[in-house]
Chain A
Amino acid sequence: MRRKLTSKYIILGMSLLMLAVLFSTPAVFAQKKSEVVFWTSFSGQPERGVMDEMVARFCKLHPEIKVKKVVVPGTETEVAKLLTSLAAGVGPDVYHLDRFTVCQRAAAGVLQPLDKYIKGIGQEIEKAYLDFAWKECVWQDKVWALPWDTDVRALYYRKDFFREAGLNPPRTIAELDECAEKLTIRKNGKLERMGFVPWWNQGWHYTWGWAFGGEFYDEKAQKITANDPKIVESFAWQKSYCDKYGMKALEAFSAAYETQTESLNPFVSGKVAMIVTGDWFIAFMKQFGPDVDYGIIPIPRPAEYKEPISWSGGWSMVIPIGAKNPEGAAEFIKWYCGPEANEIYARGTYHLPVSKKAFEVTSLREEPRYKIFLDLLPYSRCRPVIPVGALYWDELTAARDYVIHGKKTPKQALDDVVARVQAELDKILGKK
């Protein structure tokens, strides 16, 4: 008994001692003056290694600036970590931000405008970048980010299946529908292979809305135009696949293969003959489907449109508010988003460069499959630059789900989207 008591006192004593120690050494987190703290969520290879290389190269060129790269993993980085840190004034100098959200974060007061730190804004800097990328960095006449990389989308198709069926790759929606039908295989009433499922992978609402010639936002009037008749048509077209192939069967088929993000990719395994996805898929195919015979063509459009279309996302570099070393940060991102850095990154990771100079001479042009993506970039667009971008995206996704599962008609679903998003947009714009 006495032993037990002593041991309890020992534990108590130890913990009090430890508490005293913990409380008595306030390790105040402080940043060195010449340091530039850079946060990114890129935690895996090869991106991480290449970025280390790039940071090292910058430090060699600019020995007076010490860049400290910190990998902050997870998809919640941007919201959870960045916001909490900014609220307490311990945020980074440079942040790696999804370009699509730049406008939203700028409107929320999370970022600093770059105009005063980066020389050349208002003159040559914007001309240095592809148009759609630069658009996403500007909000209310101020520049909030520099574009860092980009991506673009096209239609991949299985040459072996097409040869088998004696088909040519589709250029128009009508041809697409026809190929899809001929390449679909049913067995015992179940779908064995689908020729095409419009909403898989990158076949998003934006993809088809634009392919069909619709516009999602009227910049001049600041109006959300999700119920543009062409967009309604694109939704109805997607729904037609459900009607043709059976909603339940397609639902099961979709749920079975579509959600296999990395494993069991349906294009590799031959579950689907065509898929809309991005340039990054080339690296994926090299690794997981090296023996698959496939081709890439622009996304099919209704016959009346002759020009190809695509859209792009990508990343950017920003300086959040409260940065301790904005000048150093500006020097860093100017180089990091410049042509030399773009090319190092492209060569190391096969991601597309976004600065015009790099775009023209990139070594990616020598890679056989990349040509089509590089050719598509001039025709690519970006998503509407509005402070409710995330909301708009979520609403469109829900609307598409409602339509596909037969819960709302396309017009009704999109009218609802307009109502909700417009209300939010007006609120934010109204107060500015």
Chain B
Amino acid sequence: MSVSRKGVRFLKILKAQVITRLILIAVCIPFLLPFFWMLSTALKTLPQTVAYPPVLIPNPIVWDNFREAVLTIPFFTYFKNTSIYVGFSILGTIISCPLVAYGLSIVRWPGRDSLLILILATMMIPFPVTMIPLFVLFSKLGWINSYKPLIIPTFFGTPFFIFLLRQFFMTIPPSLSDAARIDGASELTIFTRVILPLCKPALGVVALFQFLGSWNNFLGPLIYLMEESKYPLSLGLQDYRSTHTVQWNLFMAASTLVVIPTVVIFFLTQRRIIEGIHLTGIKE
């Protein structure tokens, strides 16, 4: 290659690698602030959390806060409860929502779009006015003081995820499912063998969002659970609040511990799940 062409290539690489990185880093900084502040507070002594001017780097760095946070409250009981709740609700969502979404997208039948609107409509009633009748309903079923009111409904579909998956399914070229039908495949087979594998990114997103929703859910567990031993982390973290003060350092230490699994799961799975199968030769 001639010198000038090398130069042009070099500039292109420079642009691609350096400039994109600069943009990424610049945008990441404001998004990093919350985590940095959280971690910094988690490592402070209590007086330092309220010190002025605000202390950016704790001194001394109290790693012990993590140990204390975990020992002061029944952290592992709460953690276990949260994990069970979250695990089952993800299961329920992953099973039911794709099925319903399939019925609203790949199967063509009249009235399916109106049904979609109805499904969306059920999300639009604000929670305060349905909270009490819903609770009474669950109490008649005998589900109070358990996670059943929170888990079992996930096996029947959630409008948010149904809609999301429906939109993803609608991007799949109909030729695929039609071809399979011509080959005599049943709808269920098409669903499991053709459509689902193509939508791994969307399914990954659904699982992730359900995980988060359950993990951070406060109001649901608050009203349905009657015993402290059943509380999840979202309720348990309130143990650090007193009537007029909050033990911020322990609170943030515990919150960091609570947040870390989420971050780790995201980091590990985002590559695998979000990056779609780079479709090999799907012709329009």
Contacts and interface: CB of A to CB of B under 8 A. Distances in A.
B152 A70 contact: no
A27 B223 contact: no
Given A11-B95, A88-B144, A284 B222 contact: no
Interface of A: 1, 4-5, 8, 11-12, 15, 18-19, 22-23, 26-29, 42-48, 70-74, 76-77, 80-81, 83-85, 87-90, 262-265, 268-269, 271, 280-281, 283-284, 287-288
A43 B241 contact: yes
Contact of B91 (A15, A42, A46, A284): A15
B139 interface: yes
Given A26-B142, A262-B50, A287-B46, A73 B132 contact: no
Contact of B228 (A70, A262, A280): A70
Interface string B40-56: 00000011011110100
Interface string B79-101: 00000000010011001000000
Interface string B136-171: 101111111110100110010000000000000000
B153 to A, nearest CB: 12
A277 to B, nearest CB: 10
Contacts of B51: 264
B244 A284 contact: yes
Given A43-B238, A44-B239, A44-B241, A262 B246 contact: yes
Given A15-B95, A280-B243, A80 B222 contact: yes
A264 B54 contact: yes
A265 B50 contact: yes
B114 interface: no
A263 B49 contact: yes
A44 to B, nearest CB: 3
A70 B222 contact: no
B242 A46 contact: yes
B75 interface: no
Contact of B248 (A29, A263, A280, A281): A263
B238 A74 contact: yes
Contact of B239 (A29, A43, A263, A264): A43
Given A80-B222, A88-B139, A280-B243, A27 B145 contact: yes
Given A22-B152, A90-B226, A44 B139 contact: no
A81 B223 contact: yes
A81 B193 CA distance: 45
B226 A29 contact: yes
A29 B145 contact: yes
A291 B150 CA distance: 50
B219 interface: yes
Contacts of B240: 44
Contacts of B145: 27, 29
A44 B247 contact: yes
A390 B172 CA distance: 54
Contacts of A283: 244
22 contacts: A4-B197, A5-B192, A8-B192, A15-B92, A15-B95, A18-B88, A26-B142, A48-B239, A73-B235, A74-B218, A74-B222, A74-B238, A87-B132, A88-B140, A88-B144, A90-B144, A262-B246, A263-B50, A264-B50, A271-B52, A283-B244, A287-B47
A283 B145 CA distance: 37
B160 to A, nearest CB: 20
Given A15-B92, A22-B148, 10 more contacts: A27-B146, A44-B246, A70-B228, A84-B131, A84-B132, A84-B135, A88-B136, A264-B51, A264-B54, A280-B244
A85 B223 contact: yes
B245 interface: yes
Contacts of B219: 76, 80
A89 B242 CA distance: 29
Nearest to B140: A88
Given A18-B88, A70-B226, A70-B227, A85 B242 contact: no
Contacts of B244: 280-281, 283-284
B284 to A, nearest CB: 25
